[in-house]
Amino acid sequence: MNFHAPVLPTETLELLAPHGGELFVDGTLGLGGHAKLILQKISPKGKLIGLDADERNLQLARENLADFPNVELIHSNFRELNKIAALNSLDGILLDLGVSSPHFDDPARGFSFKKNGPLDLRFDQSQPLTAAVILNSFPEAQIADILRNFGEIGISRKIAHQICVARRQQKFQTTADLVALVEVKSLLPQIFQALRIAVNDELGALENTLNSAPKLLKSGGRIAVISFHSLEDRLVKNFFREQKKAGILEILTKKPIVPSLAEVQENPRSRSAKLRVALKI
């Protein structure tokens, strides 16, 4: 059985406070780690709707959650939440924005610069846009914008120019092709992050979902978002503040909750996680 250790499990469960009979949405199901914890609290009369853009994740989650008949799994990006849950009055919404371990661990998905594989980086492999398409066909200025806006890279123009010069000689096909081009190896995590965000429109999806979430929550319902980089966290923080000013949400986390040292030691991929939670007034 495949399993991906959920990040901040105790803190997330405490703040979401699921109870028996409630209706929850896990918009980023992954392998079902958080979902299982919620289902244990809301079962048997409650229900959880799990969404994931990755069909493979859904298959594995289905195995991991086989003991729960009260779960509905849907192949969809969480940006479609308002369509899927339009008629439901939700008690809770969870968004864990991190990349699941299988993505990083499978070289064929191209998420890790440490392992050679195709320049893919898609969560949903049915979509046409890949990292290779961006690197091989996007205009130089657009590539520079992606690196600057999504990777916060100061020398984005220089790298974009190098990419466009190199692709005239040979198209980018593998992660190793890109790694070989980058002179400053310490920038590789930011470059791969930028491409991943662009390929999956991650910030656009998050913004759309945040805008629709309060309408889907019943009074007293909660939304929890776990982010893994400053761009995501800033979006969530600013949205919660705006909704608080409008009298729609109450912020339950004055500062983002981060993993304990013990959790980071046990699960190093949790180290950059930040949890923010708000309640529908």
> What is the pLDDT of the chain when averaged over all its residues?
94
**Residue pair 109/103 in contact by the 8 Å Cβ criterion:** yes
Query: Per-residue confidence at 1, pLDDT binned at 50, 70, 90?
Result: very low
- On the question of pLDDT at 40 being above 90, the answer is yes
> Distances from the Cα of 237 to the Cαs of 17, 164, 217, 249, in angstroms?
21, 36, 18, 12
Which amino acid is located at 75 in the chain? H
Question: What mean pLDDT is predicted for residues 155-171?
Answer: 98
Phi, psi (rounded to 5 degrees) for 279: -120, 135
> pTM of the prediction?
0.93
Question: What mean pLDDT is predicted for residues 59-69?
Answer: 95
**Residue pair 194/151 in contact by the 8 Å Cβ criterion:** yes
DSSP 94-162: EEE-SPPHHHHH-GGG---TTS--BS---SSTTSS--HHHHHHHS-HHHHHHHHHHHH--TTHHHHHHH
Check residue 3 and give its pLDDT. Answer: 53
Name the helix (H) or strand (E) containing 258: none
The 10 Å Cβ neighbour count of residue 256 is: 16
Share of the chain above pLDDT 70, in %: 98
Which amino acid is located at 14 in the chain? E
Q: 3-class SS at 276?
A: strand
Phi, psi (rounded to 5 degrees) for 142: -70, -40
Check residue 104 and give its pLDDT. Answer: 79
**In the chain, what are the domains?**
9-102+204-280 (3.40.50.150), 107-202 (1.10.150.170)
Reported as a single tens digit per residue, the pLDDT across 76-135 is: 999 999 888 766 699 999 999 978 777 777 888 989 999 999 999 999 999 999 999 999
- On the question of pLDDT at 206 being above 50, the answer is yes
**Residue pair 189/181 in contact by the 8 Å Cβ criterion:** no
Name the helix (H) or strand (E) containing 44: none
HSE-up of residue 171 (Cα within 13 Å, Cβ side): 10
Phi, psi (rounded to 5 degrees) for 36: -60, -40
Query: Per-residue confidence at 226, pLDDT binned at 50, 70, 90?
Result: very high
Q: Among residues 121, 94, 127, which one has the least CA distance to residue 108?
A: 121
